[in-house]
Amino acid sequence: MLTRRLFLTGVLAAAAAPQAALAKPARKPFVINPVFQPQYVSFDSSYAPGTVVIDPRSRFLYLVEDGFTARRYGVGVGRAGRAFHGSAKIGRKEVWPRWVPTQGMISRQPNKYARYAGGVSGGPHNPLGARALYLYRNGRDTYYRIHGTTEPWSIGRAVSNGCIRMINAHVMDLYARVPLGARVVVI
């Protein structure tokens, strides 16, 4: 009986083999470099607690806790010439925000962005991801955002149209910690 069971198992496995050979290979799951995971770090700072400090060159965002500590997150930043510089305030916060490409994005890459000129509703396939913090300067929207992304592999790179990208789970954590009116400084 055991021999018959082994034989049948082998026959069934052989019959399934051609289908397995035709199946698409499984995608490797994305794993973020541990250096870009949220973590508390030493941060000698003259910034007030609650200030968001972004260092685009090192691809990190810091939420200042006190004069010596910050919560650090890995980010994706704007390509050269498209990044926000200076200081701003969080003027608006949105859960699953609606996305509309800027006129500059549409004129630079019409084949990619013109079809979205009317905007994209919030949700898991929206380029702004799960949360967005809108940067305002002098009471006006700068059109720069700290937001989630549908492209987590872009964290640690200069790839965006100027905004600061974060892993969705990370931007959700930051969103919960940062109030409206918080200061943001891009160094």
**Residue 18 domain flag:** no
CATH code for the domain of 126: 2.40.440.10
Q: How many domains does the chain have?
A: 1
E-assigned strands of the chain? 39-42, 52-55, 60-64, 69-74, 77-78, 86-95, 131-137, 140-147, 158-160, 164-165, 183-186
**Residue 135 domain flag:** yes
Q: Report the amino acid identity of residue 81.
A: G
Helix, strand, or coil (residue 7): helix
Per the structure, the complete domain to which residue 110 belongs is given by: 34-186
- What are the tokens at 27? 């995608």
pTM greater than 0.85 (yes/no): no
Of residues 85, 125, 163, 170, which has the active-site annotation? Answer: 163
* Antiparallel, parallel or unpaired: β 39-42 and 86-95: unpaired
Yes or no: say if 50 and 128 are a contact pair by the CB < 8 Å rule.
Answer: no
**Residue 8 domain flag:** no
Residue-level pLDDT at 108: 87
Residues 60-93 have pLDDT tens digits of: 999 999 989 999 999 999 876 567 889 999 999 9
Of residues 85, 125, 147, 170, which has the active-site annotation? Answer: 147
**Residue 14 domain flag:** no
- CA 172/CA 66 separation, integer angstroms: 21
Most confident of 12-16, 123-127, 151-155, 175-179: 175-179
Beta bridge partners of residue 53, listed in sequence order? 62, 185
**Residue 101 domain flag:** yes
Q: Is 147 a catalytic residue?
A: yes
**Residue 7 domain flag:** no
**Residue 45 domain flag:** yes
- CA 87/CA 84 separation, integer angstroms: 9
**Poorest-pLDDT segment among 8-17, 48-57, 96-105, 162-171:** 8-17
**Residue 23 domain flag:** no
Q: Give the helix/strand (H/E) hosting 17.
A: helix 2-22
Percent of the chain, pLDDT > 90?
58
